[in-house]
Amino acid sequence: MLEYFQTMNVRELIDGHQAVFSFEFFPPKTDEEAKALFGVIAELKTLDPSFISVTHTPSGIDPLKTAVLARAIKENYALEPMAHFTCIAHTRSEVREIAAQLRERGIFNVLALRGDIKPDARAPIKREYHYAADLVRELSAMGGFCIGVAGYPEKHPEAPSMEADIARLKEKVEAGASFIVTQLFFDNAYYFSFVEKCRAAGITVPIVPGIMPVTSHKQIKRFAEMCGSRIPDVMARDLEKIKDDTAAVVAYGVEHALAQCRELLKNGVPGIHFYTLNRSHSTMAVLRRLKQGG
């Protein structure tokens, strides 16, 4: 069991590899979903991911589910987890308790987020933390955590401008974040421009691009609206033509994501973070071909 407590620091993983590859999962709601998820993780493990990201509800309800899944991934699959940690629905004492739960489970890599403000959220908005930077500062003061934060190549939906958004991002880095993982995007130009603006603002930490292969026409439209990510006109037209052919949409999504990743890696990105939606087929297809050089 001692091996379980040996933690790999995500920033060190990023610094120590030519390019890291990571996957993001969310905690299952049922036993059936859990069985399916662990099957997905077992499949993806064969591609030797650098670390696994574990989400939880946007507001932070049931943070223990995130901690439990992160521990299971570490114990059962010997993969390094990174637990998402939101603060919008928690008091400072609750945040410290969640941090303690993560420590007890050997989880020291976290993605620090504010959390979404939704009128219909089940958890009350307590607002002891107004921004993710507040949480980063708190976790950094505790010591021992490797802290990542989110970046938005096309601007956070609530930010008044890209400049204001990058200023907030810089605050998070100065508060103690050591790497950035971006929101998904479908046009690499947004990522390259974002990185350029971040560097000009004095942000020097690694910025890992987030990629999600399209698997459903309806779903991708919903995700794009929710995340503030634009679907390129050509891509939108192509998907409109094949929207009723699931296999064709999946194949298109793989090719588009593969093209994105090839260009990103060619330009020296620190790695690729895949949003899987708890599925393996498309992500495995993309990553396998990348590793085979195809």
- Would you say 214 and 245 are in contact if contact means Cβ atoms under 8 Å apart? no
Structure confidence at residue 88 (pLDDT): 85
Structure confidence at residue 165 (pLDDT): 97
245, 251, 255, 258 alpha-carbon torsion, rounded to 10°: 130
What average pLDDT is seen over the chain? 91
Token duo for residue 119: 């009128």
Catalytic residues: 24
Instruction: Determine what percent of the chain is predicted with pLDDT higher than 70.
Output: 92
For 95-138, what is each residue's pLDDT tens digit?
999 999 999 999 999 999 998 766 555 555 566 888 899 999 99
109, 62, 64, 46 alpha-carbon torsion, rounded to 10°: -60
Nearest-angstrom CA–CA distance, 163 and 52 = 30
Assess whether pLDDT exceeds 60 at residue 229.
Answer: yes
203, 225, 243, 258 alpha-carbon torsion, rounded to 10°: 10
The secondary structure of 239-261 as a DSSP string is HHHHTT-HHHHHHHHHHHHHHHH
Surface-to-core class of residue 46, CB atoms within 10 Å of its CB (0-12 exposed, 13-18 middle, 19+ buried): exposed
Backbone angles phi, psi at 254, to 5 degrees: -65, -45
Mean pLDDT on 176-195: 98
Mean pLDDT on 36-42: 94
Q: Please tell me the total number of residues recorded for the chain in this structure.
A: 294
Of 108, 99, 102, nearest in space to 144 by CA: 108
* Direct distance between the N- and C-terminal alpha carbons of the chain, in angstroms, rounded to an integer: 39
Structure confidence at residue 145 (pLDDT): 97
The angle subtended at Cα 149 by Cα 236 and Cα 272, nearest 5°, is: 50
| Per-residue DSSP letter, 273 | E
| Amino acid at residue number 99 | A
Mark 91-104 as b/e (b = at least 16 C-beta within 10 Å). Answer: eeeebeebbebbee
Of 84, 73, 81, 66, nearest in space to 9 by CA: 81
Q: Which residues span the domain enclosing 263?
A: 2-292
Nearest-angstrom CA–CA distance, 45 and 229 = 29
Instruction: Report how many domains make up the chain.
Output: 1
Assess whether pLDDT exceeds 80 at residue 94.
Answer: yes
Nearest-angstrom CA–CA distance, 271 and 12 = 13
Q: Which of 9-23, 112-126, 216-230, 272-286 is least confident?
A: 112-126
CATH number of the domain to which 98 belongs:
3.20.20.220
Token duo for residue 34: 């859990």
Helix (H, G, I), strand (E, B) or coil at 181: strand
Q: Which of 4-18, 42-56, 149-163, 234-248 is least confident?
A: 4-18
Structure confidence at residue 29 (pLDDT): 87
Structure confidence at residue 1 (pLDDT): 37
For 255-283, what is each residue's pLDDT tens digit?
999 999 999 999 999 999 999 989 889 99
